[in-house]
Chain A
Amino acid sequence: MKIQILGPGCAKCTKLMDTAAAAAKELGLDCEIEKISDLNQIMGFGVMMTPGLVVNGEVKSVGKVPSLEEMKKMLQ
């Protein structure tokens, strides 16, 4: 599984990354987490607001940090 975190690296982006990592660990997922901070790359996903969460190429959330439980559902 590939998880991509879209955002320039501010507090919410970091929290999103931590939440994704925690959810993946709880679910026992073998995944790669990539941080994307380049705005052109972020816009390439069609995302207009950060932070953004991409799972296996699909944007799952934009502009918010999902809770751990929400994140686990998004990763399953």
Chain B
Amino acid sequence: MSAMQSGCGCSCGGGDAGPKVIFSCSGCADVGELADQAARKLTRDGAGKMACLAGISGRVSGIVKSTEAAQSILAIDGCPLDCTRKTLEIAGFSKVNHLRLSDLGFEKGKTEVSAASIASVISKAMIYL
């Protein structure tokens, strides 16, 4: 799997604004899957660029430096464990917009990952991007 879902955004001839970077917990529970699918859809729709949270944990220099250059950072967590937000925080990223799916009524173990639930998450995520 590639680190990103879309092509490289060249800033060479344009503005200096970095990408809007999206991280999701992509956890094993249904809410983690929903967070992951929403992040991927946001990327496909051009709203931002999903990056691998594991790259932050592993201090992969390209992902860390790209995140440092980001215009904004959105962390999508499925449940109150807040793994995404905490991972970013430990790596030094404190200015993070945080979306927790359990706060939107998506309950772990009882959430259906569907076009409708993905759309619901995306509509909230767009507020933070």
Contacts and interface: CB of A to CB of B under 8 A. Distances in A.
Chain B interface SS verdict (over half): loop
Interface string A5-19: 001111111000000
Contacts of A45: 61-62
Interface in B7-42: 7-13, 16, 18-19, 21
| Chain A interface residue number, banded | 20 to 34
Contacts of A51: 11-12
A76 B69 CA distance: 22
Contacts of A60: 61, 65
B85 to A, nearest CB: 20
A11 B9 contact: no
B3 interface: yes
Interface string A41-65: 0111111111110100011111110
B72 to A, nearest CB: 13
Contacts of B49: 48
A39 interface: yes
B19 to A, nearest CB: 5
A59 to B, nearest CB: 4
| Chain B interface residue number, banded | 20 to 34
A62 B66 contact: yes
Contacts of A64: 16, 69
B55 interface: yes
A74 to B, nearest CB: 11
A12 B69 contact: no
B88 to A, nearest CB: 15
B122 interface: no
Contacts of A58: 61
B55 A46 contact: yes
Interface of A: 7-13, 39, 42-52, 54, 58-64
Given A48-B69, A64-B69, 5 more contacts: A43-B2, A43-B7, A46-B4, A47-B62, A50-B12
